Structure 1
Amino acid sequence: MISTIKMLESLPFPDDLARVPRYASTHHETMKGTGYPRRLSAEDLSIPERILVIADIFEALTAADRPYKKAKPLSVAIDILHKMALDEHIDMELFKLFLSSGVYKQYAEKYLPAKQIDKVDIAKYLTPQNKETSSV
């Protein structure tokens, strides 16, 4: 990863692609600073970087072309992402936007085989959790 970062940073990207090295090097970071390679925290990650983290994980979970693992059904991938959001690996608000916008479903319908697309009850992920609703 470090070699890739150095290589990408040395390339003369045009202005509109200048952030490519940063985006490519932050998709394994977490909101709580336990990621790789820089251990960046939420404060260090831009919204586009946080979105890329979610997209990268979702694609990896659902991809059928990986010889080292079986593709997860849509509902399992969403459940894993939810657990990752609860554990502060990914941004909870962006995860909820990922669901409520329907982009997860649009992606699934375009790129996943029908047998992999099962029912996802997004309401259970969008409603506030007990610890989130209790105040004072």
Structure 2
Amino acid sequence: MSWEELARFDNQDIQVPRTEPLLADHHDHLVPWEKEPKRESRFVLQAGEYQNNQGEMYNLSVRKGTLNNEERYIINSHMIETIRMLESLPFPRHMKNVPLLAGSHHEKMDGTGYPLGTIASELPLPARAMAIADVFEALTSCDRPYKKAKKLSEALRIMSFMVRDNHLDGDLFELFLTSGVYLEFAQQNIDSSQIDDIHIEDYLAQS
């Protein structure tokens, strides 16, 4: 065992022999924070009591995906740090929205996004546009080790469903398609094998 794992064990002697279940959640599975996170009520994304929970039953009970709540917080909290770092900079008045714009591309139109849970009416236009750009780039990128890059038709289909579910701005998505920006980006930045036949009317109908 690593020294970090050993440090989570009590100093009490363990009596043997003893019965040990095949799968269990133990106190030593709870990983304390190395540094207690700063907690602000303005963020809907909040750190849990522990930095991680390696409980076997706990992790086997994850309903969707492969990450538990603690791991998902670590990944998603980059948005909180983005906002905090940018807010600490002395931007001129005409650039005061930079922290919000940079930290809002995981927000959703219905307010169920993060880190602030901001609804569409409170999101500046550039922030809503960045959300579309971020999703499109993530779906088509071929440098993500955890997933295979989507073909253009697959990416746009997924995005049309996100518009339908009120996660992306429908008007901006329509402009994204009708302006041809999606294709211009694809031709310059993704593998040619990903660019298949597209009929934008199919995705406009979905949205």
* TM-score > 0.5 by shorter chain: yes
**As a proportion of its length, which structure holds more helix?**
1
Unaligned runs of 5+ in 1: 130-136
AA of the residue aligned to 1:77:
A
When normalised by structure 2's length, the TM-score is: 0.59
- Structure 1 position 20, deviation (Å): 2.2
- Alignment CA distance shift 1:54-1:128 (3 Å): closer
Look up the match of 1:111: 189
SS in 2 for 1:80: helix
Q: Aligned pairs, how many?
A: 129
| Alignment partner of 1:100 out of 165, 172, 178 | 178
Structure of greater Rg: 2
Deviations 1:94-123 (A, max 9, x none): 111100000000000111111011111101
Cα distance in 2 between the residues matched to 1:9 and 1:23:
11
Runs of at least 4 residues off by over 6 Å: none
Distance in 1 of aligned mates of 2:94 and 2:187: 30
| Structure 1, 11-20 or 52-61: larger mean CA deviation | 11-20
* % identical equivalent positions: 53
Q: Which residue of 1 aligns with 2:89?
A: 11
CA root-mean-square deviation: 1.6
Aligned CA distance change for structure 1 residues 33 and 69 (closer, same or farther; 3 Å): same
Relative to 1, partners in 2 of residues 1:14 and 1:65: Cα closer, same or farther, differing over 3 Å?
farther
Q: Which has the higher contact order (CA 8 A, sep 6+)?
A: 1
| Structure 2: segments with no counterpart, 5+ residues | 1-78
Instruction: Note the C-alpha offset of 1:11.
Output: 1.3
